[in-house]
Amino acid sequence: MLHFADSLTFSGRKVVAAWAALPFPALSGSSLPDTLSAHQDVPWKLLSSCKEQKLSCCFAQSAVLRGICQEKGTRSPLHLCESPEQVLQQYFHSQFPGAFSTSHVLQQPCHTQPPFPQFFSPLLTKRGFLLDKAQGFSSAGVESIPVLAALQSSPVLHWLLSGLCRELRAPDARRWSSFFTAGLEQDDFQEALEEIKTLAQCYETGFGADGSEDEADSD
């Protein structure tokens, strides 16, 4: 995983954020192009706790989609692609122009038989596709689901790392004796905070700044 993350980072960046759609929100019988075209924003969510949830741009990303095949549907630019991988690549190009993107599509879905947690909506079929209305069977009958997971290097990490820096600065480490009995030195602690602050700045884009970095400096 470390080497995989390294392949998506550059310009001083070192970390990536995990995103996922579980299940991938596809209607029963719909094609991948139809599913992607139906969503104004990307149909996956940030797994990390962060104030900024909307992904407006991206530096680099790698995504894996499971359980979606290339089916026929209405004609659109995405339908001109010859494979699901090309559909995802074209979609990434339209959503994140200029970003480095890789995609992989596997036919096998994610199996969800017990002991997998059965927390699914009754709006899902047994194969994990969305229905227009709930059916008569229990959500425990979901046997598999389509899933999309992605690792992304994006500006959202600026807010995540800046927030981490603020939280670490809030308590006075000198009042926590356990910090120092564990071998922590005050100078090392301050140096680590500065490294996190510098790393957060590597994810700034100059757009949509809300003063979070200034707030971190004032702590």
Instruction: Find tokens 């969510």 and name the residue.
Output: 45
pLDDT value of residue 170: 72
Rounded to the nearest integer, the mean pLDDT of the chain is 81
Average pLDDT over residues 136-165: 84
Average pLDDT over residues 174-189: 73
- Among 62-71, 135-144, 187-196, name the one with the lowest average pLDDT: 135-144
Residue 106 in this model has a pLDDT that exceeds 70? yes
Nearest to 74 by CA among 36, 38, 34: 34
Question: Band of the pLDDT at 55, cuts 50, 70, 90?
Answer: low
Residue partners of 17: CB distance under 8 A and separation at least 6: 46, 47, 48, 50, 151, 152, 153, 154, 156, 157, 160
pLDDT value of residue 207: 44
Share of the chain above pLDDT 70, in %: 79
- Among 33-42, 58-67, 98-107, name the one with the lowest average pLDDT: 33-42
pLDDT value of residue 38: 84
Distance CA 90, CA 88 (A): 5
Q: Which residues of 11-38 are buried (b: 16+ CB within 10 A; e: fewer)?
A: eebebbbebbbbbbbbeeebbbbbbbbe
**Domain limits, the chain:** 1-153, 158-202
> What is the tens place of the pLDDT at every residue in 107-146?
899 999 888 888 888 888 889 999 877 665 555 588 999 9
> What is the tens place of the pLDDT at every residue in 84-96?
888 999 999 988 8
pLDDT value of residue 163: 87
> What is the tens place of the pLDDT at every residue in 12-52?
888 898 999 999 999 888 888 888 888 878 888 888 776 55
Residue 177 in this model has a pLDDT that exceeds 90? no
